[in-house]
Structure 1
Amino acid sequence: MKALRHDALAKAVQLSLVLATPGLAAAQDAEPGTSARQLDIVTVTGSRIRRAEVETQVPVQTITREDIERTGLSSLGDVIQEITGAGSGFNRTRNASGNDGFPADGGGTGAGATTVNLRHLGTKRTLVLVDGMRWVNESSASGVGAAVDLNTIPLAVVERIEVLEDGASSLYGSDAIAGVVNVITRRKFDGAQLSLNYGQYTAGDGRDAGVDIAWGGANERASWFLGASVQDQRGVKSSDRDRTREPVYGTGVELGSSRTPGGRFVFTDPRNGETYDLTSNAGLGNPVYVPGQPGCPAPRSDGFHCFDFATDAFNYAPYNLVITPNRRAGLFGQVRIDLSENASWYAKALLNRRESTNQAAPEPIDLGPGSGTDYASNVVIPANHPFNPFGIQLDASNIQTIRRRPVEGGPRVFEQNVDTAYLGTGVEGAFDVGERRWSWDANVAYSINRAKQDNFGSYNIRNIVTALGDPSICAATPGCTPLDIFGFGTITQEMLAYISPTFRDRSENRLGVFSANVTGDLFDMPDGPLSFATGYEFRRYEGSYDPDPATVRGEYNGVPSLPTAGAYNVNELYVEFNVPLLGPAHGGTKLDFNVAGRYSRYSTFGSEFVPKYGLRWQIADELVLRTTFAEGFRAPTIGELYGLGTRFDANIVDPCLGANWAANAANCTVLGVPAGVNQFDPQIGVETGGNTALQPEHSRSFSAGFVWTPSILENTAFAQRVDLEATFYRHTIEGAIAAPDPQTQLDLCVATLDPQYCSGITRNASTRQIETFDNRLANFNVIKTDGWDVDLTWALPETSVGTFRVLWQNTIVGRYEAEGADGSRQPLEVGRLVSDPVTRSIPQWTSNAILEWRRGPWNASWTARHIGELVESCGDATGLPACQDTPVVGQNRLGATTFHDVQVGYKADWLRGLQLTAGVNNVFGKDPPVCLSCNLNSFDGSTYDIPGGGFWYLRADLRF
């Protein structure tokens, strides 16, 4: 494996020396023909010191407004997710609600949100700033989120995005382990602009339309900007794509659900001791049952037949969504007023509304032992129930499982309304200390993200049990109508009215911040001034999740959850120094040493101190070497600390059931599982929850690299300018907060019988299926990752047909390892895709290559987005033709994939300028590779474009 990693790196570096990669680092922003060495005093993400010398000290990518518009995307999150250093995150393909349940961190599913995951270390380990200030975390209406929803920031108000791909806890505090995304808003704007955009997929669906309005100006003392944005992204149904019409593409209903519209009834008849596994015959409303016939698999002559998964399984896929509808409206404004020559005041405000929808297949009803709730596990269907066809009482003594998919009630629909409000103000200025100029600022901001989710098509299990119970009790209960689950199409609207209310969940996150900073030069040293920055920050976090009262009472038929509420305060001090060790007098060489430290005091667990050290060595005007080492931490979130208890359904293969038993016979026997017991369903309910004893995660980050602008290539026949940047990175996290991977935990339990793995897993006494699976958060993981970023920009000389520029950006992941406290390896690694409870993948090599052309009013670009191959476990598809058994038996290879985007634009001199743009993303209609283990839709939407064609768009920008 090591040789393979080095080979991939060598190939990428060799290619980068011939072609060109995006010069997106802050040091690369100069126009062709200008010098990056002539820099003014600047503020850079990754340093608090405002000096040009620190600008290339850390690896910072800058995504300009031009870069954003080239993508043809309408969401800030979608833009950031396309950079090569970003891993799997929620986006518009994440049709999550009702399928994933509630993750262990208490953050909910983030339905409708778009998040960023740098270095594949998780969205919670990437800090998001707006104009250098922390942004409020999302609230998904299913938990207290721990990451920022980038859909709360309208793309129209963004001037540029700075991405620091290095640990930065010493400067910014918790959450910056993997890096920092700093969104810089539009501040100076003269006049007005109207922007219209429209696009859709070549299949004729997924329409995305929007309008942006910007207005700004300035006078001698003030400047202002106001922006408004409305964006409407329509959904794409799974039934409208060939790839997504089956649970797993190419398997029909073989991997469908055993929860069927006609019902599945597994019970023991006390009259003859026979155990039956029956389902209703198709086309029948109320099938007739003839008692006394032999049990399955013998054929029957009544209205039932023995359940056969291959022919009776339910195809739930067409009810899902490939793209979720997402409507956003935002209003942003800021004003700056000079109070004097050396001080100014600013204020900014934002209001943003997101309306999104998720949809899932009709919610199944499970009854009998181990069904997930006390009501369902202890159901009693008396023999005299008007719709009980079996003539016996069905209860916990003889039911193994009863499952019914009430398609009469339609799909589950989850509608979210998410409101974000932000208000910030502050003063900033400068003063002189002798002949030295110092800068200072003081800021206060308050923001809130509040979510409401209405759930239609789910069921009240208490009412279901009442409607299936004693008819006299149902008759005495207001609204109760006896329920018929025994057959096809048997549930009436009157029955649905009693068992299917609307469930309403609410959650919110609040963030209050005060900060004060000062920076300047302390004194002169032989090779330059000693620069420093220092500051103080106070933060107050508050979060709550309030599920529907019926859910709290345990009456929700779906995935249960309990309320969460908590708050904590943080006080922090930081200091940073930039020390010149060598100056221009030493043959043009300049060497700077940067050191920073941050002390944090949390009301929840105590204090932390993290340092950072960096060296920047400018060997010559054209070559800079740099290296950094930093310690970092991530504090436990409100959901991780105070989540009372939730559940998600994980796809788990039980090593003691079915054909797997033989390989584990001895230990499975000890666990009470005999041979010949098949697994009813791969979806197993996993109980999760928070832990108030959690401690912070701790990290170590190292980077080393160079920025080279070879003067020998400047203004030559070969190039006008070439910029090459390469960075090696390494991150190590200890005490990472996580719950054990459920499959790994179960496998270790069966393999070792060790109580540390088995104590939370119990089996039903009669069915031997797993009944409870406890999977709580703890500080036990160790995560290690390293890799390379290699970027080039190649500006070609001007020709008679126009000017060309080639940009190419690469990330090569050398290692990713996650280990439990016992040393057990977790399944996610380089070149692998895993999907429990969310899909995550780490391609070894990702690359973005861009060819730009300009001539007069015309411009065009061609972008190639490359994703390296991946391998996944075939899981339930093992043994089926869809599983390639490559590279080994039981695994499936997702081949390397490249998507191509094209764009052309024309600028007319009308008013202050009219820019017309047309483009197609995925111009060749490349389908993503088939994923057998992905939760939905047979592809990984966090990594690939959706199947079924490309996306074309038009945009018009009018300045006046």
Structure 2
Amino acid sequence: MMSISSLTKSVRVALLATTSAALIASTGVYAADQEENDIERIAVTGSKIKRIGELSATPITVISGADMMNMGITNVADLMNQLPSATVGISPETSNNTIFANGLNQTDLRGLGSNRTLVLVNGRRFVAGSNGDSAVDLNTIPTSMVSRIEVITGGASAVYGSDAIAGVVNIITRKDFEGVEFDASYTQPQQSGGEESQFSITAGGNYLDDKLSTIFNFTYAEQEEVRSTERDFLNSPVNTIYNPDESDGAPAKIAYYGRKPLSWINEAGVFEDGNGDRYTFADDGSMKRFDDGEGLVEGPGSNANYCGPSCDGYDPVDYGLVRTPLERMVFTLNTDYEINDEHKIFTEFTYVDYQSNGESSPVFHSWGNWIEADNAFLPDDTRQLMADTGIDYFDLVRMDTEFGNRTYNQDRETMRILIGVEGMINDDWDYSFHAQRGQLDENTVWEGEIWYDRYEQAKDAVFAEDGSIVCRDVDAQAAGCVPLNLFGENQASQAAIDWVGTSAGQTAKTIQTSAGLVVNGALFDVPAGFVSAAFSADYRKEESETNPDQALIDGTIFGNTASPMKGEFDVTEFAAEFSIPLLSDIFLAHDMSVDLAYRWMDYSTAGSDDAWKVGLNWAPIEDLRLRATRSKSVRAPNIGELFSPEGQTFESLTDVCDAINVELGADSNRKTNCQAAGLSAGWNPTENFYRGNTPGFNAGNTELKPETSNDYTIGAVYTPNYVEGLSLTVDYWSFEIEDAINYIDANTAIKYCYDSASLDNVYCSRFTRDATTGDIISFVQSPVNSATFDVKGVDIEAQYDYPTDNFGDFNIHLIATYLEKWETNPTGFAEDLQVDVGEYTDPRWKAMFSLAWKYDALSLEARSNYRHSAVGDNDWKPENNNYNDIPSYTVWDFTGSYTFSESLSLRFGVKNAFDIEPPRNPYVYDGAGYYDTSGRSFFLGANYVL
């Protein structure tokens, strides 16, 4: 019989192999809290089977919470964004102009989309981070409560259900703590803007004769905004212009370095007289000629829309916000109560309240802002100019800065309550049952808005008989209209601003209710070991609704409309997993086992579906382990995709069945299908169809079905006994996703309705024809199951621990991902295939490297993040532009910590130590979510335990 110490060692060795990319964590990341004689079955992410001395076939990355904080990271999302296997989802750097998403922090494994990445907390689902979505907002997870993060970068729907196509992020929180812990940190960029601060209190203890254990945490974190004017590389952007050199072979566009304000609009107002000369207004409201500064940008096309940096035009750089501010408070309380030695009750409570403010330019009028010659606020010289050049009115083009920048203020409240019971059924079997309810309340307020009608009334100011200035419209006067002076900056009265300006808002609610039961244990013994199993049953209900202000519904304010939405679905799931040992301790089979998993799901919206997984573990010798998995994963459509309300839109349509376009089809399908639809040869739409835009709607699609992914991984883990502390891991992975949900515009639907093999396809139902004329009279732009993904690559991990007697302990660690293939097709037609691998969004290589040294109480680490050189567009040709190449990018962080005593420790460091800017390229100069925009930053943190 194996001794207790030998069994403990085997558990730890297995766990090392399981953590295929054990970022920062050492061999004992799981076992560190175990005593040498404490043997228990261990729950490994990727399976609901608890195991002894065995590992999952699925590669897992493990990050410890303590090491994450030592890196100066105060948000889980910032850590996930650094992993080579992940990319940035929605974040404060990418969401500023996405009104309902400001400040969200979501992760995106393999770049397949945040909705295809399942985030769990302690192995259980968490309420979504935004209305109608399924992705979890990582702002709701306090870093000081994180024990470790386990990341599966492979399909896991058979184990965890929908949304796990790209993988699973399982956040394990701290569960056992005695005392009071204070933690604080501050990050200061070298250039102003982007400062970060965090403070947390953690308290815990054991009560009632150690039957009750609790851990409570309060975290306050604040992240300041970053404006374009606060970073040198953003203050001097890199844009594009049409090439002034129009000779044969010259690229059509070239990079333009520096600012280039718009030459036709500004904050004071721009207009043209009857001769086509441009004028604006000085600070005192007097008229002046528009100053082109260094002159209009030379060249063809739209170049003349821009002028030199000192001109009188509007410069968007002055209004740019590249990182939204974020302020959050998180309360967490977890408890365990032992009913007896075999059963316990556990609870988890989370409350989060955070605010984030997006910002965009002020309200603007780029056309149709007509000013009459009798306007009372017109300067006399302007009125005379109009008379001299023969015009009775002009179009005043301006940024209406009187009302301030438009801001999108988000307040999100998340509350989650979970209660469960777990314990032993007998010596071989245990159980766990939980029920939970999570709720997200969102309150969005738009500031800096205006009433359309009041603006029109107030700007049309005339002299009354008594010489006072009033609004021309008598009814508007009776309603309280205050005349608005638009000629120059800061000329409007506060009363007029208050009359015209307004705010609007929307509330939204998301509710998740779920319950789950897992029973797992050993079925029977076979010569190679125990056959283990886990059986689970889950129920989940998702509900979402939005309630915009009536002004947004009616479209009576500038630039924003919204419609109420309400939707829900529920799903019932049953799953089974089996781990079957095949061989053990024989020639070329130190051990071999097979993992099997199957899940059946029944959605109230999408119907029933299933997922499965087959995995193989084979260690031909003790030092080498080979593993492979093959699985089918699914993702059911979320509430937003299903139930987004209809919002009216207008589009200029091309009818491929008209007499000209029907002959341009790639094959005979188009002509055949057009005739089958009742449109005879030589048919044409009416003139009314060609003359105007067709009304239609943007909406969800209740006919959506689940996406399906066929994926596999093949890998090896090598931990040679003759080189203690060395581990090498290589895994090849592949995702092939079919029926992926994709938003289709009206013209695409019309084209592929008739270019498909028959009229029985997902596109033809997206528009309606008039039964008499054949004209397309309406359409719906909505998501359909039309896209495919084919993504393949290799993950590589190497780690070497080298302890010394006199010079401390060294650790070298490398994680890298090589992207072999990235192809997506939004429609399923060969001509629409997009090959993205090698573009800056999906570079061939991404890597993290670290070198760490620990000597007594001092720890130091150098860490680098690398993105391979890339291109802007794989379809680039020399005649397109001169800026397609994007160089490689490496950022170095230097961090450290010092432990003064068991109670006090200090951490410190500099991030982006060499102040590396994003590549000076039009595609990515602003970071684009992939490159650092904070610049060199210094951080300091302290931890004190009472």
Give the TM-score band, short-chain normalised. Answer: 0.7 to 0.9
Q: 1:594, 1:261 → 2: CA distance?
A: 66
Q: 2:191, 2:417 → 1: CA distance?
A: 42
Q: What's 1:889 paired with?
A: 881
Q: 1:507, 1:48 → 2: CA distance?
A: 34
Calculate percent identity across the aligned residue pairs.
27
Structure 1 counterpart of 2:896, which letter?
V
2:905 aligned with 1:918: no
Q: CA deviation at 1:221?
A: 2.0
Distance change >3 Å, CA 606–CA 744, structure 1 → 2: closer
- What pairs with 1:302-313 in structure 2 (closer than 5 Å)? 313=313
Q: What's 1:693 paired with?
A: 703
Distance change >3 Å, CA 888–CA 622, structure 1 → 2: farther
Q: CA deviation at 1:258?
A: 5.2
Q: Is the 8 A contact 2:48 2:534 kept in 1?
A: yes
Q: 1:744, 1:932 → 2: CA distance?
A: 29
Q: What's 1:951 paired with?
A: 937
Q: Is the 8 A contact 1:744 1:826 kept in 2?
A: no
Structure 2 counterpart of 1:83, which letter?
L
Q: 2:535, 2:645 → 1: CA distance?
A: 39
Q: CA deviation at 1:516?
A: 0.6
Distance change >3 Å, CA 307–CA 43, structure 1 → 2: closer
Q: CA RMSD in A?
A: 4.1
Q: Is the 8 A contact 2:606 2:637 kept in 1?
A: no
Distance change >3 Å, CA 118–CA 483, structure 1 → 2: same
- What pairs with 1:814-893 in structure 2 (closer than 5 Å)? 814-821=820-827, 822-825=829-832, 829-833=836-840, 841-872=841-872, 889=881, 891-893=883-885
Secondary structure of the structure 1 residue equivalent to 2:585: coil
Q: CA deviation at 1:27?
A: 7.0
Secondary structure of the structure 2 residue equivalent to 1:515: strand
Q: CA deviation at 1:197?
A: 1.1
Distance change >3 Å, CA 226–CA 123, structure 1 → 2: same
Q: Is the 8 A contact 1:21 1:849 kept in 2?
A: no
Secondary structure of the structure 1 residue equivalent to 2:453: helix
Q: 1:809, 1:887 → 2: CA distance?
A: 38
Q: CA deviation at 1:57?
A: 1.5
Q: What's 1:713 paired with?
A: 723
Instruction: Provide, for residues 59-111 of structure 1, a one-character-per-residue CA deviation record: whole Å limited to 9, x for no partner.
Output: 11111123212320111111111111111222232352xx345xxxxxx4x21
Q: 1:746, 1:892 → 2: CA distance?
A: 33
TM-score, scaled to structure 1: 0.78
Q: What's 2:896 paired with?
A: 904
Instruction: Provide, for residues 282-326 of structure 1, a one-character-per-residue CA deviation record: whole Å limited to 9, x for no partner.
Output: 55736499xxxxxxx9xxxxxxxx976665642122222233221
Secondary structure of the structure 2 residue equivalent to 1:92: coil
Instruction: Provide, for residues 221-245 of structure 1, a one-character-per-residue CA deviation record: whole Å limited to 9, x for no partner.
Output: 2222111111122222221222222
Q: 1:316, 1:758 → 2: CA distance?
A: 41
Match of 1:156 among 144, 150, 159: 144
Distance change >3 Å, CA 384–CA 446, structure 1 → 2: same
Q: 1:361, 1:954 → 2: CA distance?
A: 35
- What pairs with 1:82-97 in structure 2 (closer than 5 Å)? 82-94=82-94, 96=96
Q: 2:395, 2:789 → 1: CA distance?
A: 40
Structure 1 counterpart of 2:102, which letter?
A
Q: CA deviation at 1:466?
A: 3.7
Q: What's 2:63 paired with?
A: 63
Instruction: Provide, for residues 855-897 of structure 1, a one-character-per-residue CA deviation record: whole Å limited to 9, x for no partner.
Output: 111111110111112322599xx9xxxxxx9897354322111
Distance change >3 Å, CA 62–CA 410, structure 1 → 2: same
Q: What's 2:770 paired with?
A: none
Structure 1 counterpart of 2:916, which letter?
K
Distance change >3 Å, CA 889–CA 824, structure 1 → 2: same
Q: Is the 8 A contact 1:873 1:891 kept in 2?
A: no
Distance change >3 Å, CA 790–CA 342, structure 1 → 2: same
Q: What's 2:134 paired with?
A: 146
Q: What's 1:427 paired with?
A: 421
Instruction: Provide, for residues 603-649 of structure 1, a one-character-per-residue CA deviation record: whole Å limited to 9, x for no partner.
Output: 11211111111111122222111111111111111111111246999
Q: CA deviation at 1:251?
A: 3.9
2:732 aligned with 1:728: yes
Q: What's 1:526 paired with?
A: 527
Q: 2:127, 2:525 → 1: CA distance?
A: 40
Q: CA deviation at 1:439?
A: 1.2
Q: Is the 8 A contact 2:589 2:618 kept in 1?
A: no
Distance change >3 Å, CA 693–CA 748, structure 1 → 2: closer
Q: 1:154, 1:940 → 2: CA distance?
A: 26
Q: Is the 8 A contact 1:221 1:337 kept in 2?
A: yes
Q: What's 1:410 paired with?
A: 404
Q: 2:697, 2:921 → 1: CA distance?
A: 26
Structure 1 counterpart of 2:860, which letter?
A
Secondary structure of the structure 1 residue equivalent to 2:832: coil
Question: In terms of mean alpha carbon deviation, does 824-833 or 790-799 score higher?
Answer: 824-833
Match of 2:215 among 194, 219, 225: 225
Question: In terms of mean alpha carbon deviation, does 61-70 or 309-318 score higher?
Answer: 309-318
Q: What's 2:102 paired with?
A: 111
Q: 1:31, 1:598 → 2: CA distance?
A: 30
Q: What's 2:671 paired with?
A: none
Q: Is the 8 A contact 2:580 2:595 kept in 1?
A: yes
Secondary structure of the structure 1 residue equivalent to 2:741: strand
Secondary structure of the structure 2 residue equivalent to 1:87: strand
- What pairs with 1:260-271 in structure 2 (closer than 5 Å)? 260-263=266-269
Q: What's 1:459 paired with?
A: 450
Q: 1:606, 1:31 → 2: CA distance?
A: 42
Q: What's 1:838 paired with?
A: none
Distance change >3 Å, CA 543–CA 314, structure 1 → 2: same
Question: In terms of mean alpha carbon deviation, does 327-336 or 178-187 score higher?
Answer: 327-336
2:609 aligned with 1:608: yes
Q: Extract unaligned runs of 5+ from structure 2.
A: 1-19, 240-255, 290-295, 297-303, 461-470, 655-663, 665-683, 687-694, 768-777
Q: 1:284, 1:437 → 2: CA distance?
A: 86
Q: Is the 8 A contact 2:120 2:171 kept in 1?
A: yes
- The count of residues paired between Structure 1 and Structure 2 equals 822
Q: What's 2:466 paired with?
A: none
Q: What's 1:769 paired with?
A: none
Q: 1:390, 1:606 → 2: CA distance?
A: 69
Distance change >3 Å, CA 277–CA 526, structure 1 → 2: farther
Q: What's 2:165 paired with?
A: 177
Q: 1:256, 1:21 → 2: CA distance?
A: 50
2:78 aligned with 1:124: no
Q: CA deviation at 1:247?
A: 5.9
Distance change >3 Å, CA 726–CA 873, structure 1 → 2: closer
Distance change >3 Å, CA 39–CA 922, structure 1 → 2: farther
Q: Extract unaligned runs of 5+ from structure 1.
A: 1-19, 102-107, 290-296, 298-305, 369-378, 655-663, 665-669, 673-684, 715-720, 762-771, 834-840, 879-884
Secondary structure of the structure 1 residue equivalent to 2:473: helix
Q: What's 2:72 paired with?
A: 72
Q: CA deviation at 1:502?
A: 1.6
Q: CA deviation at 1:919?
A: 0.6
Q: 2:811, 2:332 → 1: CA distance?
A: 34
Secondary structure of the structure 2 residue equivalent to 1:216: strand
Structure 2 counterpart of 1:479, which letter?
G
Structure 2 counterpart of 1:154, which letter?
P
Q: What's 1:939 paired with?
A: 926
Instruction: Provide, for residues 12-56 of structure 1, a one-character-per-residue CA deviation record: whole Å limited to 9, x for no partner.
Output: xxxxxxxx9855689774799x999x9852101110111135524
Distance change >3 Å, CA 26–CA 257, structure 1 → 2: farther
Q: 1:542, 1:152 → 2: CA distance?
A: 19
Secondary structure of the structure 1 residue equivalent to 2:450: coil
Q: Is the 8 A contact 2:749 2:766 kept in 1?
A: no
Which one has more relative contact order, counting CA pairs under 8 Å at least 6 apart?
1
Q: What's 2:4 paired with?
A: none
Q: 2:451, 2:442 → 1: CA distance?
A: 23
TM-score, scaled to structure 2: 0.79
Question: In terms of mean alpha carbon deviation, does 81-90 or 382-391 score higher?
Answer: 382-391
Q: Is the 8 A contact 2:450 2:502 kept in 1?
A: yes
